[in-house]
Amino acid sequence: MPMISQMSHMTIFVLDQERAREFYTEKLGFEVRADITMGGEFDGAGQGFRWLTVGPPDQPGFEVILADCSMGHDEGTAEQIRELVAKGALSTGVMDTPDCRKAYEELSARGVVFLQEPAERPYGIEAVLRDDSGNWFSLTQRTR
Go through the domains of the chain in sequence order and give each one's CATH number. Answer: 1-87 (3.10.180.10), 90-144 (3.30.720.110)
- Answer whether 143's CB lies under 8 Å from 126's CB: no
Q: What is the pLDDT of residue 42?
A: 53
Average pLDDT over residues 26-34: 97
Average pLDDT over residues 79-105: 94
Q: What is the pLDDT of residue 13?
A: 96
Using 50, 70 and 90 to split pLDDT, how confident is the model at 125?
very high
- Answer whether 114's CB lies under 8 Å from 43's CB: no
Q: What is the pLDDT of residue 44?
A: 52
Question: How many angstroms separate the CA atoms of 106 and 8, rounded?
Answer: 28
Question: How many angstroms separate the CA atoms of 72 and 122, rounded?
Answer: 38
List of residues 6+ apart from 19 with CB closer than 8 A: 132, 133
Using 50, 70 and 90 to split pLDDT, how confident is the model at 43?
low
Q: What is the mean pLDDT of the chain?
A: 92
Rg (CA), the chain: 16
> Nearest 10 degrees: CA dihedral of 6, 53, 139, 106?
140
DSSP class of residue 26 equals I
On the question of pLDDT at 92 being above 70, the answer is yes
Q: Which of 38-42, 79-83, 101-105, 106-110 has the lowest mean pLDDT?
A: 38-42
On the question of pLDDT at 137 being above 80, the answer is yes
The H or E element spanning position 125 is: strand 124-130
Greater confidence (48 vs 65) lies with 65
Instruction: Indicate whether this model's pTM tops 0.75.
Output: yes
Average pLDDT over residues 103-124: 97
